[in-house]
């Protein structure tokens, strides 16, 4: 099950898994784009086990509806790849009043994972894969107010914080899985500098065209490799982090890398977990 699978990294991940015989569900905000992607993957790979599912991660009502549909379709889920994301858009808030990047990149996936946890626990050795970004280096904390405001909105910092949140969630989720004695694991990956459509708005003061020329060093196919290794490496352990092995983790074959120390901070993990449950009005079932 892959969110944001109609383009970029998600499309590449879905294509590889379908080619190797997996039943793949493309969960996308646009049902039409999901269907177009499913048709393209099917034509490329010959797979007949590609499904689509409409979900808008910026709306928790949509997340709840989609999770219910998916749980009724499939009793068990082996891989939950939380890939969808937005980067540096103009200021906006979700239906729940949360700044859009934190809402889509983290909170929607937090609720999505909570609602599908039962299906994951039914599959021995299942995995939750979170997709972060090198931008996490810019973030050193989680904001106290997720609503924010247009006047003090810093798009790239908000993006970086949402990507740090993904690492904090991965580590915090693994701790809870360990305590529960579950065989499900939570791992994370980042693609380095990959050529995708994610950069559509000014990033860190740079125009999108300049950001792409400076930051996108490798193809989406290669950028998908860390996520695929996180999803499929039989030696992977819960809480591990995979990234390109080249200079500054910008390109190269995927390797295990160290999580930033702040991702292991109990205080930041607890803060993120508490704020996520409050924002979603949900108690995580673990």
pLDDT digits (tens, 9 = 90+) for 101-140: 999 999 999 999 999 999 999 999 999 999 999 999 999 9
In DSSP notation, 178-241 reads: HHHT-S-EEEEE---SB--S---S-BTTB-HHHHHHHH--B-HHHHTHHHHHHHH-TT--TT-E
Coil, strand or helix at 159 = helix
Catalytic (active-site) positions: 159
- Segment 79-84 shows an average pLDDT of 98
Per-residue pLDDT at 248: 86
Which pTM was predicted? Answer: 0.92
Q: Token digits for 225?
A: 């490799």
Q: Above 70 in pLDDT, residue 5?
A: yes
* Summary mean pLDDT of the chain: 91
Closest C-alpha to 63, from 99, 89, 100, 27: 27
Per-residue pLDDT at 195: 61
Closest C-alpha to 242, from 130, 86, 96, 80: 130
Contacts of 161 (CB under 8 A, 6+ apart): 101, 102, 139, 141, 142, 143
* Length of the chain (residues): 286
Q: Is 2-280 a domain of CATH 3.40.50.720? A: yes
77 in Cβ contact with 28 (< 8 Å): no
């Amino acid at each position: 099950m892959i969110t944001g699978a109609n383009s970029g990294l998600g499309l590449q991940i879905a294509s590889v898994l379908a080619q190797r015989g997996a039943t793949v569900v493309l969960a996308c905000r646009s049902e039409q784009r999901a269907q177009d992607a499913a048709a393209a993957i099917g034509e490329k790979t010959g797979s007949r086990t590609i499904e689509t599912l409409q979900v808008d991660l910026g709306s928790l009502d949509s997340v709840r509806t989609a999770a219910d549909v998916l749980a009724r379709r499939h009793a068990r889920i082996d891989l939950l790849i939380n890939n969808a994301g937005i980067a540096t858009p103009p200021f906006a808030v979700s239906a729940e009043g949360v700044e859009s990047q934190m809402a889509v990149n983290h909170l929607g996936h937090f609720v999505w994972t909570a609602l599908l946890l039962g299906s994951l626990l039914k599959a021995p050795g299942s995995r939750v894969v979170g997709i972060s970004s090198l931008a996490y280096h810019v973030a050193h904390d989680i904001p106290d107010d997720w609503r924010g405001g247009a006047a003090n909105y810093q798009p790239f910092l908000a993006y970086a914080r949402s990507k740090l949140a993904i690492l904090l969630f991965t580590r915090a989720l693994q701790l809870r899985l360990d305590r529960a004695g579950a065989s499900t694991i939570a791992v994370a990956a980042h693609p380095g500098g990959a050529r995708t459509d994610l950069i559509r708005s000014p990033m860190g003061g740079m125009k999108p065209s300049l950001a792409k020329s400076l930051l996108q060093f490798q193809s989406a196919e290669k950028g998908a490799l860390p996520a695929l290794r996180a999803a499929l490496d039989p030696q992977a352990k819960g809480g591990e982090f995979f990234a390109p092995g080249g200079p500054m983790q910008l390109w190269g074959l995927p390797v295990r890398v160290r999580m930033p120390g702040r991702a292991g901070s109990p205080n930041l993990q607890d803060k993120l977990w508490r704020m996520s449950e409050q924002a979603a009005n949900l108690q995580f079932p673990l």
